[in-house]
Structure 1
Amino acid sequence: MAGWEVRPSDPRRAARVRWGLLLLLLAVPAAFYAGVWWQLRATQSVEVERQPMQERVIALEQELEQLRQRLVVVGSGEKVAQQANEQSRLTIKLLEEQIFKQQQDLAFYKGVLAPASRREGLRIRTFELQATDRPMHFRYKILLSRVGKDDKPLEGQLMVTVEGRQDSKAVSLQLAALTQDLPDQFSGQAIPFAFKHFQAIPEAGRFAELKLPEGFAPHQVRVRAEVKGEKPLERTFKWIDQE
């Protein structure tokens, strides 16, 4: 009859096609759950490595603070041997370098563990400030880090200003001007930086020194970071209470 066509039927071939489609449908969710399980195991492994390092940094910082307090007491006594004083200073320097190394490692792990929803890139972590036994002299250091897994060095520059009042007027002083004639003085207004995961200014976790002019009452420190191709990042830090 016109319009009719006879096609041979193969039950075994049809069964193989159905089984193949069934296996394909099962393989897609299985692969998805396997990927989720692997990512979870990898994150847990990094977290296990990070926790002891965090505890080590806390312990080192506590020991460093005790030594600093001891150094203040030692320095105030007129009959204390110069050798003991120098030994304390060397120990403090060693601890600062150890903490700096631990902070570098922690910065890397925090970048790996950061949720994908967080913006990756530069972070201005702290502007740490300490008073000294000399009027208007202070010790400081700046800590920078980044979030993300990119190993390409992050390059840019910092502009640091100390804001306050002098003669009842608002005044902003560049950090470079406050470090003149001091050991860690800056040659320009901007401070260049280049790092992968963590950087301290000055290097190796040391403290640098700044000197405020007479009659200047500081209020806060403004740190502005500029990275080529990105929006500037800015943070302010309150000046320490000297009372």
Structure 2
Amino acid sequence: MSRSPSPRFIVQQHDPAAARRRLLFVVVAWLATLAFAALAGWFLARSPVIGPDPAEHVRLQDENETLKQRVAVLERADQVDRVASSDLQQTLREREEEIAGLRTDLGFYARLVGGGARREGLAVHSVHVEPVRDSSAWNVVVTLTQNMKRSQSSEGRLQIAIEGVANGQLKTLAWTDLGAGNAAGLPFSFKYFQRVPGTVMLPEGFTPNRIKVVAEATGGGGRVEQGFGWSEAQAAEESSNVQQ
């Protein structure tokens, strides 16, 4: 028994309402897409841009300037401390030198006036010479002593002469040749000891090698003459001008 052939065409009933519903759905979907895109753009436009806060930036700048000022103040304080420390160390060194000089003076004074000290009249204890910078002048300090007359002052004058070499020959410069400005000599007045300062001028080309001191007290107080090597006088320590 043979089968009937399959139909080539399917007949469906036309539904205009369904077609309109499909079209309406497409239109609504398209409009919804446009609305969503517009809403997304508006939201992005309204959102703040993420970045540094201007107020915070200003605050950080102010804090940075404050820190820089503090660092500058600390550096300046450190510099002042270093200078002050250096000045203090220099002052301490000077005070130590002064104390050492005073101790030397005290020991010298104790030996001079102590009960066991040997009685002696006017004497030249030491001579110190030191050049004056940028000149041919020399500062001279002569230390005189006496403990023979403890209750009386020894007064008088002293003169200096310097022996040396000039133009290959020995030469002695008297007190009047040294340009000291006081032809009578340097005055002194003391009970126990005194350092008598003065200044002399040496001529150009003159090389000193020995210095001689002549001191004479008035009223029969005695006369003393003593010489010192020039290098010895340069090495001698100079203390303050103490008068007793």
**Short-chain TM bin:** 0.3 to 0.5
* TM-score, with length taken from structure 2: 0.47
